[in-house]
Amino acid sequence: MQAATEQNKHKVFVTGASGKLGQALCQDLMKSGVFEVVGSVPPQEVKEKCFKLEQCGCKVCECDAAKTESVLKVLKETKPLQVAIIGIAAGADQTQHLKAYIDTAEEAGVEYVMLFSSAAAEKDVTMWGKQFHEVEEYLKKTVKNWTIVRSMFHVKQIKDQNTMPLPTEGYFAPVSVMDVACAAAHILKDCEKHHGKTYEITGIKTKHGPEFAKDASMALGRTIEFKKISMEEAQRVEGIVSFYKAVDENKLNFVSSDFNTITGKDPMSMVQVFETYHSKNPEMFGKKKEE
């Protein structure tokens, strides 16, 4: 497959396009000027998210991953060269949905599949890692041309409570969805040289909870405090506790240079991430402390 250019645009089908990573990827692809993008959203998706995708020039279609015939129908109608698979379901459903997307891409004759996965998936150190390891292996045996993009825990929003609740003081390197999308867009432009490769996209430096709080304070202009919570409290979010346990056991204390290898630059620091997110969504991060 030749590299995407303005004269040779690639059509990309993006699943989970209404999620944060999906939206960021669709926007980056459209801004590049060398892609046509079809964004897949689940049934009954909120109109606001679909409108944002359409605003950036993305064609939006409705697909139900639980009904493979609906996915296959859209793929055959839109005829994309590439498919970027982002999971949006939880638990066992996600594993089955991702496999269904892989199957339909192969059946529809898609030339290349990119799978977004979880950090250190081959080590099975988290619930997500175990699920994605299974899907990664399925991808490798099902399609010929593929790339896997793993990413570390994504930075979350901080609201007015001025605390960063984490059940661990262990070290890890979370990354912005903007950087993950940036790396993926670079790969998709000239995917042939990335065939059969697995990339780990992490932040630039491993840190622990108090350091994240310090970075957030610096970026937001108000004091954000680290608050240690129990693993039992973290259980309320499905899957998150296994991630934190892996951090506590030092299994995710690593930084990858793959982002720099792909893009030629470093990912954003945590201060830059918080500053960027606040400038784009001040209501989600609360007001800065008045001078």
Question: Could you tell me if residue 69 is inside a domain?
Answer: yes
Does 163 map to a domain? no
Closest CA to 163 of 124, 99, 98, 210: 210
* 129 found inside a domain: yes
At 288 the pLDDT is: 58
Counted domains in the chain: 1
Whose tokens are 């059509």? That residue is: 11
CATH number for the domain that contains residue 44: 3.40.50.720
Comparison of pLDDT for 83 and 168, the residue scoring more: 83
Which range among 52-66, 226-240, 274-288 has the greatest average pLDDT? 52-66
Distance CA 171, CA 247 (A): 6
Element (H, E) at 187: helix 177-189
Least confident of 73-87, 151-165, 185-199, 252-266: 151-165
Is there a domain that residue 252 lies in? no
Look up the domain containing 109 and give its range: 10-152+176-201
Residue 206 lies in a domain: no
Sheet holding 197-201, edge to edge: 59-62, 35-41, 10-14, 82-85, 112-118, 146-151, 197-201
pLDDT range class, residue 197, cuts 50, 70, 90: very high
Q: What is the mean pLDDT of residues 192-214?
A: 92
> Whole-structure pTM over 0.75, yes or no?
yes
Q: Which of 170-174, 252-256, 269-273, 278-282 has the lowest mean pLDDT?
A: 278-282
User: Is residue 145 situated within a structural domain?
Assistant: yes
Most confident range (mean pLDDT) of 86-95, 152-161, 165-174, 228-237 is 165-174
Residue 21, pLDDT score: 92
At residue 279, the pLDDT reads: 79
% of the chain with per-residue pLDDT over 90: 48
The tens digit of pLDDT for each residue in 100-148 reads 999 999 999 999 999 999 887 876 667 777 888 999 999 999 999 999 9
116 domain-assigned = yes
Q: Would 117 be classed as within a structural domain?
A: yes
Measuring CA to CA, which residue among 103, 167, 105, 92 is closest to residue 131? 92
